[in-house]
Homo-oligomer: A and B are copies of this chain.
């Protein structure tokens, strides 16, 4: 079972949690100044260091796979946009895809732990455990005053980026999301779109993450984020309830229309699929429709991305063929939709 197939806490609004630790090895040049022989060697060293722990990892040479496979890893949030052009570059990946280490990204190492729903504490513990394991073999660049040293100064200190993906359709539709984003920014949090940094929040899925990594303990960063996220979740839930009281039947209509389109359309773009799945996920969370779980819907949100679709076929597709393949996948995935009992 992959991590995103598990049932998470507060999954009616919270999609997933991600913890990322940026680490660099002392004595090696940072970033693009790292010589490729050293980079090759680093991949081997990290692989061996990780092999000493209880979790089994497979190593994916990101620079040796096809562009579609690389893109699919990006769409699954397993590698960053930057890493797609790096060479040599590798990804250590656990069986359930919850734990991973990017090697030779912007930083030498990016430890990453993901989980369904809200699970900041659990993910942080898992990441710290892997960090400790790797430190048994590797010596990370660390400054008494600044903490862990990183390629980009915004990651200095803990090197921690904690983020929670939220599904906020009602905050989006009422426009209240803008006030939520402003308020979050004021307390050192950032709210971005589905694909994080640089991606516009065009849909109704948002990543809420800490922008400050320095001067706070890891646990404090996660606590602060958790408090803010829970307030946002409460606002979203209040709006859902108020809307359904004020406009009886309106949400049911919208949700079932989206379901009808996904169940029958023959061509669907990724943007439309995301929008329709957002409606269906809201309907599932509100008990308007049954026959699909929040986890299945979370998984679909990743699976409909272009490169993931491309990988379901054994040849490269035109945009039109991709939209047809996506529609096939969605029809199949939603075929058991039904009225709640």
Contact = CB atoms under 8 A, between A and B. Distances in A.
Interface of A: 249-250, 252-253, 256-257, 259-267, 320, 324, 327
A267 B248 CA distance: 11
A253 B259 CA distance: 15
**Which one of A249, A253, A260, A262 has the greatest number of beta carbons of chain B within 10 Å?**
A260
**Which one of A252, A256, A324 has the greatest number of beta carbons of chain B within 10 Å?**
A256
A208 to B, nearest CB: 32
Contact of A261 (B249, B250, B260, B324): B260
A249 B264 contact: no
A304 B252 CA distance: 21
10 contacts: A249-B267, A250-B267, A253-B266, A253-B267, A256-B265, A256-B266, A257-B265, A257-B266, A259-B260, A260-B260
A249 B319 CA distance: 13
A250 B268 CA distance: 11
A330 to B, nearest CB: 11
A256 B252 contact: no
DSSP majority for the A interface? helix
Contact of A253 (B249, B256, B257, B265): B265
Given A249-B324, A324-B249, A261 B265 contact: no
A327 B264 CA distance: 17
Contacts of A259: 260, 264
A253 B266 CA distance: 4
**Which one of A262, A264, A265 has the greatest number of beta carbons of chain B within 10 Å?**
A264
A233 B267 CA distance: 29
Contact of A260 (B249, B252, B264): B264
A257 B266 CA distance: 8
Contacts of A253: 265-267, 327
A263 B266 contact: no
Nearest to A258: B264
A324 B256 CA distance: 13
A335 to B, nearest CB: 12
A13 to B, nearest CB: 23
Nearest to A253: B266
Contacts of A324: 249
Contacts of A249: 266-267, 320, 324
Contacts of A256: 264-266
A324 B253 CA distance: 9
A116 to B, nearest CB: 28
Contacts of A262: 260
A333 to B, nearest CB: 14
A275 to B, nearest CB: 14
A186 to B, nearest CB: 40
A260 B253 CA distance: 12
A253 B268 CA distance: 9
Interface pairs A-B: 9 shortest CB-CB? A260-B264, A260-B260, A253-B266, A256-B264, A253-B267, A252-B266, A260-B261, A257-B265, A260-B263
